Amino acid sequence: MFGLCVGYAKHGSEGEVKPRLPQAVTLHRGRYDASGETAARAAYDAEMSGFSQRNEMAADTWTARVIARIGTIKALRGRDRLAAALNALGFPLK
C-alpha cells in the first residue's frame, strides 16, 4: 500500500493524523491470533468516533464503515474484479 499527498497545508489550519488500528491487530507472525480483536476493535471504534467528531466526519464507527465497504458485492465497486483484470493484463496472481 502507498499514499501520496500533493500540495501544501492551508496556513493557520490545524491537522490531525487519523488514528490507525494497533499493530497487534493487523500484524500476525506465523499464526493468525484474533483473541484480542474484539476489545481492540471496540477501543479503536471509540477512538475513531472522537476523531470523526473533531473533524466533522460521519458519526458512524470504523467497524460500520468497513462493513459498508465490503458488506455486498455492489459496495465493492468493482474491487471484486481486480484479480481478473490483473490476470487479463498479464499479471498472474497466486
User: Residue 12: is its pLDDT beyond 70?
Assistant: yes
In the block, which residue shows the cell 493557520?
12
CA distance 69 to 63: 10
User: Residue 15: is its pLDDT beyond 80?
Assistant: no
Is this structure's pTM higher than 0.75? no
The rounded mean pLDDT for the chain is 85
pLDDT digits 0-9 by tens, 19-38: 998 888 888 899 998 898 99
pLDDT band at 2 (very low <50, low <70, confident <90, very high): low
Task: Among 47-51, 65-69, 76-80, name the most confident range.
Answer: 47-51
Q: What pLDDT does residue 46 have? A: 93
Q: What pLDDT does residue 91 have? A: 92
Nearest to 55 by CA among 3, 17, 11, 20: 17
